[in-house]
Amino acid sequence: MKFTRLPLAACLCAALLSPASLLAKETLERADVPAELKWDLAAMYPSAEAWEADAEKLKAMLPEIEPFRGRLAEGGDVLLAALKKQEEIGQLVGSLYVYAGMKSFEDLRDSDNSARFSRARTLLSQYNEATAFFSPELLALPPAQVDTMVNDTPGLAIYRHYLDEQSRLRPYTLSEAEEKLLAMADDPLNKFNGVFSAIDNADLNFGTMKNEEGEEVELTKARYGAFLSSPDRRVREDAWIGLFTAYEKMGNTLAANYEGHVKGRVFSARARGYDSALHAATYASAIPTEVYTNLITAAREGAPALQKFLEVRREALGVDTMEVWDLYAPTTDNVFGDISWDEAKQIVAEALAPMGEDYIALYWHGFDDGWVDAVENRGKRGGAYSWGTYNSKPYLSMNYEGTLNDVSTLAHEYGHSLHSYMARGTQPYVYGSYRTFIAEIASMTNEAILFQKMLSEADSAKKRAYLLQNYLDQFRSGFFRQTSFADFEMQAHARVEAGDALSKDSLNALYAEVFAAYYGDAVNAHELNASEWSRIPHFMRTDNFYVYQYATSFVAATALAKQILEEGEPARDRFLTMLRSGSNDYPIELLKKAGVDMTTPKPIYQTLAVFEELVGDYEEALAEAKAE
C-alpha cells in the first residue's frame, strides 16, 4: 500500500497581478511574489523544524512494522492491524515526501530544501524496505484463506478490492529478501529524475532575446510558451532556437542520464519477470497493453488528418513552409487579448457550471484556502501540476502569463485538484488516491467543456477561428503529440531490452523518425528538433510510460464532455461518481461506469472523427473571418 502521490487541488485569492506585471521583463525572486499568489504549505508544516520532528517520529515508528513480519497468516485480526499500521506510517512518510518535494520545487536553487527532499526520498526508501515483507507474505496466503479472513473479520471487508489488486501482482511478486533488495535499489534507481530536474530547472540558462517591441528580455521556459504564440515569426524562431540550443548543448549528458533511467526501468521489470518495461507499467495499473498499442496504431493511421490541419494552418499563416516554431502561432488576431487572473478564474467558473453548484462552490473555495502557486519565480519548477497527500490541501502550481492557454491550464489543473479533493473526502485512505489512467480524464474533461462554452458564445467568425485553432492545437498536443511521445518511449525501452545503447545520436535519430511518422511533410523539422526528447520531463518519471495516458484521457474526456453537455444531470452524476470513487475499482471499470469503454479502439477512432470535423469547422471559420 503506497501513500498518496497524485494531484490535488489549486487556487488562490482575489487581488491579482495585472497582465503587465505578470509579463514583466525580469522574473521575480520567490520572496517578491505576492503572498496571495503562493500556496499555503504552512498548513502541512509550519516550519522546517516541524518537518524534522516528523522525520524523527517516522524513524521511531518504522520498527513498529517489524512485529507483523511472518504473522499475516495468523488471522484476520493480525492482517487488519498490519494494514492499519502500514497506513498510519504511510500517511506520515507521504506528508514528509510531498511537502519536501513541493518546498524544493518552489526554488530548485535552494540547497536546504533540495537536501530535505533528498532525505525524504531516503525515508521513503526506508519505509519501502521495512514493508517489503508485506506483499510476499500476503500473496503466499491461499485466496480462500484471504476470503475467509475478510468475511470473518469486522473492519477488513473494506480492503477487499485492495487485496484483490494485490492478488493480481502474485505472478510478479518476489521473495521477501528479493523485495527488500528491490526496495533498497529504489532510491538510487530513481536519482535520474532528480538529475534531470536539477539540469532542467536550475542549471540550464536560455539567455536573452528581443521581444516584439525589440526589448532585450530573459528567455525562460514559461515565457517560451508565450513567445511561441507570438504573431511575430522572428520572435517565435528566436525563442525556439534559444531554448532548443540549450538542450542540444547538454545532449550527451541528458542522453546518458536518460539511458540510465531506461535501464533502471528495464532492470525492475526483468527482476519481477514482466515481458517488458511496457508490460510492467500497464499491468501495474490493470490496463491491457493493447490499450497502449491500439492508441499508437490509431494515431499513426489518423496522421493524415493532423497533416491536413497543419496545412490549413500554414495557409492561414501565409507562409510557404510550416516550421516547427510555427506550430503554435496564431492564425488570427488575438481577439481575447491578455486575460487577467480575475478574468481567468471567472471564465473557468462560468464554463464549468454544467458540473453543478457544489463543484463550483468548491472551485471558489480553493482560491481562499491557499491551494495555488500561480506565477513563475526564479528557480521554480517548470510546468503545471497538482500534488498533495490524503491529509493535505490539494495544491496546484502553474506559471500564469495571461494567455488563453493559461486559462485552459487553470481549468485542467483544477480538474486534478477537485478530483483529488472529492476522492479523499469520500473514500478511506486505502482508496483515496486514483490511478494515473483516470487522473488526466477529470482535467481534460474540464478543458473540453471550457472550449465548448467559449465556442458557443463566440460572436464572430474571428473568435470561432481563434478558439478552434487553440482547441485543435490542444488536440494536437494532447492526443497526437503525446501519442508520438509514447511511441518514442516504447521504442527507446525496446532498444535497451534488445541490448542496444541509447546515445545522443541514436535518440535524436529515433525521435526524428517518430516525428516524421506523425507530421510527415506538413512541418519542416529543423535539425535541432531531433533533440526534443531531451526536454520532456515526463520521460523521466518513476512511473514511466505515463504520457500515453494523456492521449487516452483526451479520448475519454472528449466523449464524457459530449455526454455531460448533451445529457445533462445523468451524465454529470456518472462523471462525478467516478471522481468520488478514487481507486475503489479498476480504472477501466470506473471509466466504463462513467460511460466510456477504452478496452476497444472504437472511442479512439470516434475522437479522430471529431478532430477531422473540427478541422473542417476551422477552415470554414477562417474563410468567414476573411470576409468580416
Instruction: Write out the catalytic residue numbers.
Output: 413
* C-alpha separations of 124 from 92, 119, 187 in Å: 10, 9, 8
Residue in 324, 189, 158 with CA at minimum distance from that of residue 263 = 189
* 167 Cβ contact list (under 8 Å, min separation 6): 139, 143, 146
Q: Which residue has the cell 510527415?
A: 520
**Which residue matches cell numbers 497582465?**
19
Helix and strand numbers, DSSP H then E, in the chain: 26, 5
Question: Quick one: which of 72, 59, 219 has its CA closest to 135?
Answer: 72
Residue among 213, 211, 216, 214 at smallest CA distance from 228: 211
CA quadruple 519, 521, 527, 532: dihedral, nearest 10: 0
Instruction: Report the candidate in 113, 120, 116 with the shortest Cα–Cα distance to residue 97.
Output: 120
What is the spatial distance between Cα 539 and Cα 537, in angstroms, rounded to a whole number? Answer: 5
Rounded to whole angstroms, the Cα distance separating 327 from 456 reads 25
What is the distance between the alpha carbons of residues 235 and 613, in angstroms, rounded to a whole number?
A: 32
3-state secondary structure 610-627: HHHHHHHHHHHHHHHHHH
**Cβ–Cβ < 8 Å for 391, 119:** no
Phi-psi region of 142 (alpha: psi -120 to 50; beta: other; left: phi over 0): beta
Sign of the C-alpha dihedral computed for residues 77, 83, 85 and 87 taken in this order: negative
Q: What is the 3-state secondary structure (H, E, C) of 1-62?
A: CCCCCCCCCCCCCCCCCCHHHHCCCCCCCHHHCCHHHCCCHHHCCCCHHHHHHHHHHHHHHH
Please state, in angstroms and rounded to a whole number, the distance separating the CA atoms of residues 564 and 573.
9
Cell of 388: 498533495
Q: Report yes or no: 518 and 480 within 8 Å, Cβ to Cβ.
A: yes
For residues 121 and 96, what is the distance between their CA atoms, to the nearest angstrom? 9
Q: What percentage of the chain's residues is helix, strand, coil (to nearest 5)?
A: 70, 5, 30
| Distance in angstroms (rounded) separating the CA atoms of residues 611 and 554 | 11
Pick from 348, 349, 341: which is nearest to 373 by CA? 341
SS3 373: strand
Residues 6+ away with beta carbon under 8 Å from 615: 305, 308, 309, 312, 472
Determine the 3-state secondary structure of 103 from DSSP.
helix
Rounded to whole angstroms, the Cα distance separating 388 from 97 reads 10
Q: How do beta strands 385-387 and 216-218 pair? A: unpaired
Q: Nearest to residue 86, comparing CAs of 36, 137, 39, 45?
A: 137
